[in-house]
Amino acid sequence: MQVSKRLKNVTVGGSDGWGVFYRSRQMKAQGIPVVELTVGEHDIATDPEILKAMHQAGLDGYVGYQDFQGLLQLRERVADRVQRTTGVLTNPDQVLIVPGGQAGLFATHNLTCDEGDTALYIEPYYTTYPGTIRSVGGVPCAIQAHAANGFQPDPADIAKVASNARSLLINSPNNPTGVIYSQETMEGIAQVCRDEDLWLISDEVYDTQVWNGTHLSPRALPDMAERTLVIGSMSKSHAMTGSRIGWVVGPEEAVGYMGDLATHTTYGVPGFIQMAAVHALDMGSEFEARIAAPFRRRRDLVMGVLKGQNVVRAIPAEGAMYAMLDIRLTGMTGEEFAMEFLEAHHVAVMPGESFGAAAGGHLRVALTVADDRLEVALRQLLAFATERAARAAE
Ligand code: PMP
């Protein structure tokens, strides 16, 4: 079969570390109960009030083709939200509605990269990043953020490789590390983008999950609105992963070009889903805080379970729905640990290596099961690590 090199390339090298995930799915299919702490998906369903609004919108006629850029009502809500949370004047023509943040990642890289152009991103990274860049013909180039720096990226490292690049993709609050970029990091990143004429693609899908410090959108920094494309999504903030609804905010002209892409790919997002999103955004920040609350509680639970020992060290998550655990004292790679732990205790966690080499020797634990089950799983993980660390020290 003859297929494009571009698509053949999308997943090249992208499956490292996913063995644990596939093995856990296989065990489940065989009827073995597995505690899955792998994927970032809530343990609650979309709120019935949002689903009722979706149903009602269908009955009200939102079932036909829609404006490719997105319904004005929803673009207005998004523009207001972005303006309120970042202070940057934003109008609905600077908003493109897309079927989820992932579609935003695709649209923004399509906008910014020609075939063969270098697109930068920070490692550890959300797993689809390099594949998304390859899918538009770009050449992914990772810049490592180091465990020793608490996984804050260093703008000087970015500057070293920026001169031939078109774009830089960042993600704060970060998946998988839980790190929120400091003001200093963000300002340094913005300076590199101005100096090297880079587009900054800012993935802010975890902007409601902030536990420590403050989330700073780089679009709010001086002269950055003209070169920043912000990706937002209702997947995490409103527990609407399956509705596939998100946005890109950027300069009006850029949004226009991405609108052309939407016309030739998705043909817009279903009207009833957009109206449900309008309803969900109107439920306000209190609702968003309610959706985020379990992850903050469970993040505290992780810190509590791991207190008073140093075999497993948690990177203190400042945001997002994951705990990143350093298990290097066991002498095992994240991949070895996760696989053996899965076989021994039927608990699935992601090896750090699946988010790039910079996260080697770590595990990412999604805080996505009830507190009591999470606590049992963590205690098992700690006992397993303690036993392995003792063996390694022999
Ligand atoms: N960016 C990051 C950092 C993510 O973790 C995810 C989902 N896990 C996405 C983007 C895409 O999410 P969605 O397409 O559901 O909005």
354-393 pLDDT tens trace: 999 999 999 999 999 999 999 999 999 999 999 999 998 8
Atom of ligand 1 nearest to the CA of 102: 14
Q: Whose CA is closest to atom 8 on ligand 1?
A: 40
**Is 16 a residue whose pLDDT tops 80?**
no
In testing the pocket of ligand 1, which one of 127, 215, 236, 238 has its CB within 8 Å of the most ligand atoms?
Answer: 236
Ligand 1 centroid distance, CA of 202 (Å): 12
Using a pLDDT cut of 70, give the percent of the chain over it.
Answer: 99
* Encoded amino acid at 117, one letter: D
Q: Whose CA is closest to atom 4 on ligand 1?
A: 126
In testing the pocket of ligand 1, which one of 235, 237, 248 has its CB within 8 Å of the most ligand atoms?
Answer: 235
Ligand 1 centroid distance, CA of 380 (Å): 29
Ligand 1 centroid distance, CA of 149 (Å): 24
Atom of ligand 1 nearest to the CA of 105: 10
**Ligand 1 neighbourhood includes 268 CB (under 6 angstroms):** no
pTM assigned to the model: 0.96
What is d(CA 58, CA 266) in angstroms, rounded to the nearest whole number? 19
**Ligand 1 neighbourhood includes 178 CB (under 6 angstroms):** no
Q: Given pLDDT bands bounded at 50, 70 and 90, which one contains residue 313?
A: very high
**Is 304 a residue whose pLDDT tops 60?**
yes
Taking only Cα atoms into account, the Rg of the chain, rounded to an integer number of angstroms, comes to 21
On the 0-12 / 13-18 / 19+ scale of CB atoms within 10 A, 187 is: middle
**Is 203 a residue whose pLDDT tops 80?**
yes
- Spell out the domains of the chain, with CATH numbers in brackets: 5-45+286-384 (3.90.1150.10), 64-284 (3.40.640.10)
pLDDT at residue number 19: 87
Tens-place pLDDT, residues 159-178: 999 999 999 999 999 999 99
Tens-place pLDDT, residues 216-255: 999 999 999 999 999 999 999 999 999 999 999 999 999 9
pLDDT at residue number 3: 94
**Ligand 1 neighbourhood includes 40 CB (under 6 angstroms):** yes
Tens-place pLDDT, residues 114-140: 999 999 999 999 999 999 999 999 999
pLDDT at residue number 13: 60
Ligand 1 centroid distance, CA of 89 (Å): 25
pLDDT at residue number 393: 87
Q: What is the mean pLDDT of residues 91-105?
A: 98
**Ligand 1 neighbourhood includes 235 CB (under 6 angstroms):** yes
Mean model confidence pLDDT for the chain: 96
**Is 12 a residue whose pLDDT tops 90?**
no
CB 199 within 8 A of CB 193: yes
Ligand 1 centroid distance, CA of 28 (Å): 24
**Is 271 a residue whose pLDDT tops 70?**
yes
pLDDT at residue number 15: 53
